[in-house]
Structure 1
């Protein structure tokens, strides 16, 4: 197994350890297994794009928060970027606006997500992201 394949395997295993139980309870085994298979099948370029987009989302979250408008242009761009990231992770056949909205609600309920987004973009970032997603997905 090459370094890249080991990197993907480790990322999938870590995600399963951190979020697997909740994700399987909320979305079902089939959805989680499909997402894991999707990640395992990503090409090196897709994986790099996933990482680049994840960082760009954090940067855009900071910029959108600075506007104070969770329904404005910067927030809409943030939500579109987040949708692209989710589609890349879940695969085209598995995305729905309802599931994306449900994921956003999970961000508010789970301290791990709050720490992730608030650390990346400042206190209140998780609430802002969820408000932006809710506005965009409505």
Structure 2
């Protein structure tokens, strides 16, 4: 298998796994068009964009820890966290589909969904999800 074919298989596998785990729920909440567009966006990512997405995800978790240590969801470390998160969302949704309002709605959903809360609180400590939401709300206001 060529490197290109292996990369395409990796993306297909990631999309299929996400569909199995969250597809039904995402389609019920956001509609088929939105989920299909997000899947198409992920499938179209270049190797550099795919790598950036993974690096950015790791950097967001680290920046969340840094920003939380300041205790200020409106401070510069929190603003950098929010900028990073916006870029990460735009990579998933596509530059033309990203909006501040949709990003704000997604962030508010983080508190309501234990899976998101567990993801961020495990990555950066208890209260991380609340801090992330406060940082995003400050940045996106």
TM-score if structure 1 supplies the norm length? 0.94
Q: Which runs of 4+ in 1 moved over 4 A?
A: none
Partners in 1 of 2:98 and 2:140 — Cα distance? 12
Aligned residue pairs, count: 138
Counterpart of 2:56?
53
Partners in 1 of 2:28 and 2:138 — Cα distance? 26
CA RMSD of aligned residues (A): 1.2
Counterpart of 1:72?
75
Partners in 2 of 1:16 and 1:104 — Cα distance? 21
TM-score if structure 2 supplies the norm length? 0.92
Does 1:42 pair with 2:45? yes
Does 1:134 pair with 2:137? yes
For structure 2, the residue ranges without an aligned partner over 5 or more in a row are: none
The structure number with the bigger radius of gyration is 2
Measured after TM superposition, the shift of residue 27 of structure 1 is 2.1
Q: Which whole-Å deviations, capped at 9, do the CAs of 1:47-106 have from their partners, x for residues lacking one?
A: 001000000000100000000001111101000000000011100111111110111011
